[in-house]
Amino acid sequence: MPSLFPVPTARRIDRQRLLSVALIPFAAAIAMASTVAATGFTASPLGEANSTLGFLLDFVKFCYLAVAMAHLSGAIADHTCGSLAAGLSMDEYDAPEPVSKDEFWRAFPNHVDGAAIAGAVTLLSVIASSLVG
C-alpha cells in the first residue's frame, strides 16, 4: 500500500551536523548566559527578575529558536531555489568537493530534522521555564 507522505530514511548520520544542531547551541547559551550574569544584569526588559535557571533557559530558548529558524529557512530556500550542493566554501581551492543534493537529504539530520530537533528543544525550554517560574 503506497503511503501518501513517504518518510525518507537516512543512509548515514552526519556527526558534525548533529553537533551543530544539538550541542553547539547549548554551549552558546551557557556561554552567553554566564557572560551576561557576570556583568550583574540578570533581569528581563519587563522588569521581572528570573532565577538563575530561568535566566539560562531564556538563552537556551533564544539559541535553539535561532537554529530552528535557520534550518527551516534553509529547507524552504532549498526547495524554492533549486538547491545548491552543501559544503560550499568561500575558498574554492581548498574546499572539499560539495555533497550532492540527494546525499545531503539522505543524511541525518537534514534541514527538516534540524528544525524539528531545535524546535523540540525550544518547546521543552518554554515548558521548563514556565515550571521554574
pLDDT computed for residue 108 by the predictor: 85
Residues 71, 22 contacting (CB under 8 angstroms): no
Residue 75 buriedness (CB in 10 A; 0-12 / 13-18 / 19+)? middle
Q: Express the helix, strand and coil content of the chain in percent, nearest 5 each.
A: 60, 5, 35
pLDDT computed for residue 68 by the predictor: 93
Residues 71-128 have pLDDT tens digits of 888 888 877 776 655 544 445 555 555 566 666 777 888 888 899 999 999 999 999 9
Report the candidate in 119, 80, 110 with the shortest Cα–Cα distance to residue 8: 110
Residues 29-67 have pLDDT tens digits of 898 888 877 876 655 554 455 677 888 888 899 999 999
pLDDT computed for residue 46 by the predictor: 46
Residues 1-27 have pLDDT tens digits of 456 655 567 788 888 888 889 999 999
pTM reported for the whole predicted model: 0.74
